[in-house]
Amino acid sequence: MTEIIDERPTLVQGSEAPIVIREGEKVPPLICEGCNDSVLVENYLKECFVGIGLECFKCQHVTMTPSLPEGEVFPQMPVSLGSKGRYLIGSSVVNRKDVVMTCSQELEKSEKLTAPQKATSSNFELTHENLTKVSDELNLLSGGRFNKYIESAKRSINHRSDYFRENPLAWSIEHLKKQLGNKELIMSKQTLVALGFLQGYRDVLARWKDHVHFPILATEICAYFYHSLMQLIVASYLKDAGNRIAINIAGKEVGERAADLYLRISGSEKLFLEVKGPEALEWTNTELKSGKMKKVVEKCLSSSRGQIDVSKPGVLVIGATCLNEGFLEDFETIVGKVLRAKGKSYPAIAGICTVGLKEVSVDGGRSISTSFNISMNINTHYYQDNPINQGT
């Protein structure tokens, strides 16, 4: 068990019976650390008891349960015992749904380490100097990794390439610097998309830069910008809708195919989110008819099997930056049709979330505003109660 220095609430064992009996898959009990005899929790799962004390009936020793690992989140509705106090438990409490019991201190700590800021980025005047500040800041945050993408983007633009897909943010910065050399900013599709990438990045940076795992996120933004942008946009949306969202780094650290995000449903359950950013849905593709969109969605579903299955249920997220008129409405319709037709074959997918670049504008002072449209299609064939909270 983990030693906790500050005072925490304590459940006091009122008899020789366990304080809590947890139903579900059988695992070893939690035994008192003092007498090494009393069973404090039958069928103990540490994720269900976070940062609280359990006092033994026989020897009065208080066993402290561990805190959450850094970056972990609580379910939406844990049971908080407050910040201190002793609670006598006369007979065993039965935990049937792996409800998480914790305290105010743990809830506050987890929120501080994992919750994004509420405000998005401040106003941004589009100047050469400010663009350089954006690239310099990310280069610092990523430990010097971003500069190589900036240099590659410069070479790509000098060779008159329309796009540098390896890092769209680096391309956006260099493309906009070149455009600022003109007397008037030309609002081509390239420029609009570059502005969208730039402002989208600034918004997610403002919200997520204080996250405990942001140093890891910063390196991923360099290596996988498009994917990371969509990941953090949907994470912000889910948080704003009332969900506690976690960045999933555990599996990736050991080289596994792992989903990008997750929600904790209970002490034993998570709902994972796998983000896809298919090249076919990027702004460079001008011909996106319904048949092609349908194939893209079906391919995303098929390729998600490695990250989402019944042992790791979740949501598929598909990002798009196509600015064709009516694209987002058509795409959402196609996603709904595919999910209704194919959902039964993917019972572990709770739904498909689409993230699409919707609008970009620049006022007379070259201040940027942009918006992304987010839509959630629920899979009616999901194998259990659907836990997604979309807000109101």
Each residue's pLDDT tens digit, 37-52: 999 999 999 999 999 9
pLDDT at 386: 79
Sequence-distant (≥ 6) Cβ neighbours of residue 293 within 8 angstroms: 281, 330, 331, 334
Asked if the model's pLDDT at residue 247 lies above 70, the reply is yes
What mean pLDDT value characterizes the chain? Answer: 90
Which has more confidence, 251 or 187?
A: 187
pLDDT at 255: 52
Sequence-distant (≥ 6) Cβ neighbours of residue 352 within 8 angstroms: 297, 301, 315, 316, 317, 318, 335, 338, 339, 376, 377, 379
Residue whose entry in the numeric block shows the structure tokens 């026989």 = 58
Q: pTM for this one? A: 0.89
pLDDT at 3: 44
Contact between 31 and 128 under an 8 Å Cβ cutoff? The reply is no
pLDDT at 298: 97
Q: What is the phi-psi region of residue 308: left when phi exceeds 0, alpha when psi lies from -120 to 50, beta otherwise?
A: beta
pLDDT digits (tens, 9 = 90+) for 250-288: 655 545 668 899 999 999 999 999 999 999 999 988 778
Give the DSSP H or E segment for 180.
Answer: helix 168-180
Q: Give the integer Cα–Cα distance in Å for 222 and 151.
A: 13
Q: Is residue 137 very low, low, confident or very high in pLDDT (cuts 50, 70, 90)?
A: very high
Asked if the model's pLDDT at residue 2 lies above 70, the reply is no
Asked if the model's pLDDT at residue 125 lies above 50, the reply is yes
Among residues 42, 57, 44, the alpha carbon closest in space to that of 10 is found at 57
pLDDT at 392: 35
Beta partners for residue 11, in sequence order: 54, 87
Contact between 158 and 169 under an 8 Å Cβ cutoff? The reply is no
Q: Which amino acid, one-letter code, is at 106?
A: E
pLDDT digits (tens, 9 = 90+) for 203-236: 999 999 999 999 999 999 999 999 999 999 999 9
pLDDT at 251: 56
The percent of residues above 90 in pLDDT, for the chain, comes to 73
Q: What is the CA radius of gyration of the chain?
A: 25
pLDDT digits (tens, 9 = 90+) for 285-298: 877 889 999 999 99
Query: Hey, what are 135's tokens?
Result: 């690239």
Q: Give the integer Cα–Cα distance in Å for 116 and 204.
A: 9
pLDDT at 164: 87
pLDDT digits (tens, 9 = 90+) for 332-382: 999 999 999 999 999 999 999 999 998 887 776 566 778 889 999 999 999
Q: Give the integer Cα–Cα distance in Å for 179 and 177.
A: 5
